Structure formats: structure tokens, C-alpha cells
Chains A and B, each alone.
Chain A
Amino acid sequence: AQSVAQPEDQVNVAEGNPLTVKCTYSVSGNPYLFWYVQYPNRGLQFLLKYITGDNLVKGSYGFEAEFNKSQTSFHLKKPSALVSDSALYFCAVRVTSGGSYIPTFGRGTSLIVHP
């Protein structure tokens, strides 16, 4: 079985400061990992993914995430937060082969960026 943990319900950061939203996963085999963002009254929107290769993945809006196999983590980061980054962030995982193509999502982390 595959699972995702987002240990923080909410992350608060001041505008201009770096932000990190944490995600750890559990999967049998190699993972595909995803980050999605949800703005109010909108659907989940794809941000970035890790498939293979470079452990540092760059995505939309200046976000990046680092795949760490030994720590089974895929934390989302941004060097300088914007107020407009305030939203709900979801991490998701699925196996690369031999299993379901359906990703498992975390509970989501609310990011609040203060002016």
C-alpha cells in the first residue's frame, strides 16, 4: 500500500522568506511524486513532479521540490514566498510500475504567507 504524510496542517511564513512544505511517503518500489496547489474555489492544480533523474525538481511559480530517497521525503520549497502563494498544497505518490496508476494524496497543508 502507498501512503503520504503531510505532517503540518498549516505553515505560516512572512513574505520574502523561504518556505518549506513537508511531505513524506511510503510506497513499495520506486515512486512518482507530485505536488498540487489549490486556490480558493478552484480545483487542484499541478505544480511539479518527480519521475526520475535529478533529485531537485523545478516547477511552476518558482516552486521546487527535493526528492530524498533515504528519508522518503519530497518537501516543497520556494526561496522567497509571496502573499499570492497562500493556498492549500497537496503531495501525492504512486508507484512507477507493478501497481495502480492512481496516486494517493496527502491531507493537504495550508500555506499562509503574511505581508
Chain B
Amino acid sequence: EPEVTQTPSHQVTQMGQEVILRCVPISNHLYFYWYRQILGQKVEFLVSFYNNEISEKSEIFDDQFSVERPDGSNFTLKIRSTKLEDSAMYFCASTRQLGESGEQYFGPGTRLTVT
């Protein structure tokens, strides 16, 4: 069964550094998402992406964040200058279509630790 993959599984970075989290969505999916989960808290939506542009974004997704689909397979989340409060699990997800079914396929997550 096809899966969403994410790399790295764990990233440790110093405050103020840039990080890039990588995701490979399922190959025939068209809609891509990033979520984060701070330890013990809700899974929070960050951004959705379709047709090479952002479809929706949350208040969390400020100017420090950006997303890109640099080629036909990868989908990246960049944090330009990390803060301590960016420490969380970051999940990538994809769906084939946006309609009624709407179930998302998630990757295993990247644990980001900002020190």
C-alpha cells in the first residue's frame, strides 16, 4: 500500500536556524498538507497546497514558514528562523481529491527539537 514518507524522523536545531522538513506524498495525490502537534496538545493545521500554490493556511503559518513542491515528488516545509515554541511533531498529509471523502493519508512525522 502506498505511504506518505517524511524525512528526517528527528531534527535537532538551534534557535534562529533554518530547517527544512521533507515529505513525499502518495504519487497520484493532488492535495498536500502540513500539520503540527506540540507534545500533549492537539493536531493543528498549518497549510494546504494544491496546484503549486497555497490553498489555505492557519494563523500559525506566519512569514517564518513556507512550503514548496520543488519537483514532482517532494513537498517541503521550511521554517526560516526557528523558535523554541516551534518544537513539535510535524506531519505531512495528502489526499487524492478534495471532495466529500476527504480522508487524509499521513506520514510518520518529523520530530523537531529547537534548543
- Chain A contributes a number of interface residues (CB within 8 A of B) equal to 23
Q: Give Cα distance in the complex from A45 to B41, angstroms.
A: 18
* Nearest-neighbor residue (CB-CB) of B109 within chain A: A43
Within the complex, the shortest CB–CB distance from A64 to chain B, in Å, comes to: 16
The answer to the question of B45 belonging to the interface, with a C-beta cut-off of 8 Å to chain A, is yes
A100 x B56 contact (CB < 8 A): yes
A-B pairs with beta carbons under 8 A, tally: 61
- Chain B contributes a number of interface residues (CB within 8 A of A) equal to 27
Q: Given A102-B45, A107-B41, does the pair A43, B98 have CB atoms closer than 8 Å?
A: no
Beta-carbon contacts of A75-106 to B below 8 Å, as 1s and 0s? 00000000000000010001010001111111
Q: Given A45-B106, A46-B104, does the pair A101, B98 have CB atoms closer than 8 Å?
A: yes
* Nearest-neighbor residue (CB-CB) of A102 within chain B: B45
Give chain B's interface residues, CB within 8 Å of chain A: 3-4, 6, 9, 33, 35, 40-45, 48, 56, 91, 93, 98, 100-109
Give chain A's interface residues, CB within 8 Å of chain B: 32, 34, 36, 41-46, 49, 51, 90, 94, 96, 100-108
